[in-house]
């Protein structure tokens, strides 16, 4: 099934992930953003991951074109991940993680955070729409460890 192969490529590169978005949203020709640079950060948002399998906040809104520093704090005793993507990508990826639980995420839109630690993702949201974030460690996403990013058009 080509989609699963493409979804797996999230770990390999954004270009492939973007191709997956195009392939599965009927020709919609844009991804959900790109890695941002530290000097273009306009806002920092702290997102706390907990062993209750939740992110706080579980939703946030950003303007298209804005670069955010997402400061991911792991408040638990378990490892957690923060993986950003489209609904389809994240759902397929979560499914795949059940088969390959040790798969590492080296992508700019994903980070694994050790217990008690924190890590940053700097991301430029380029396109209005609804995107998701999730922890794809085995069972976490299914238990509700996910959130929604709403990207609104610039005023
Ligand atoms: Cu988790």
Provide the CATH number for the domain around residue 145.
2.60.40.420
Measured between alpha carbons, how far is 27 from 152 in angstroms, rounded to an integer? Answer: 20
Instruction: Average the pLDDT over 2-7 and give the result.
Output: 40
pLDDT tens, residue by residue, 19-69: 344 333 333 334 789 999 999 999 999 999 999 999 999 999 999 999 999
Give the 3-state secondary structure of 28-93. CCCCCCEECCHHHCCEEEEEEEECCCEEECCEEEEECCCEEEEEEEECCCCCEEEEEECHHHHHHH
Compute, in angstroms, the gap from residue 17 CA to the centroid of ligand 1.
22
Residue 2 falls within a domain, yes or no?
no
Which residues are within 5 Å of ligand 1 (an ion), measured at CB? 80, 135, 137, 140, 145
Task: Please give the residue range of the domain that contains residue 46.
Answer: 32-152
- Report the separation in Å between the CA atom of 81 and the middle of ligand 1, taken as the mean of its atom positions: 6
Between CA 146 and CA 22 the distance in angstroms is: 23
Residue 40 CA to ligand 1 centre (angstroms): 29
> For the chain, what is the domain count?
1
Q: Is the model's pTM score more than 0.85?
A: no
């Amino acid at each position: 099934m080509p989609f699963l192969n493409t979804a797996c490529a999230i770990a390999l590169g954004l270009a492939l992930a973007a191709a997956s978005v195009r392939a599965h949203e009927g020709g919609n020709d844009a991804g959900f953003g790109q890695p941002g640079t530290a000097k273009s950060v306009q806002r920092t948002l702290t997102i706390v991951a907990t062993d209750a399998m939740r992110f706080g906040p579980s939703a946030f809104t950003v303007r298209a074109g804005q670069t955010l520093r997402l400061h991911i704090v792991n408040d638990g005793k378990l490892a957690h991940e923060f993986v950003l993507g489209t609904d389809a990508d994240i759902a397929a990826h979560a499914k795949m993680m059940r088969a390959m639980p040790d798969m590492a995420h080296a992508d700019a839109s994903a980070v694994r955070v050790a217990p008690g630690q924190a890590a940053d993702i700097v991301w430029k949201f380029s396109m209005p729409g609804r995107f998701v974030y999730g922890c794809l460690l085995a069972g976490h996403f299914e238990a509700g460890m996910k959130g929604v990013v709403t990207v609104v058009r610039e005023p």
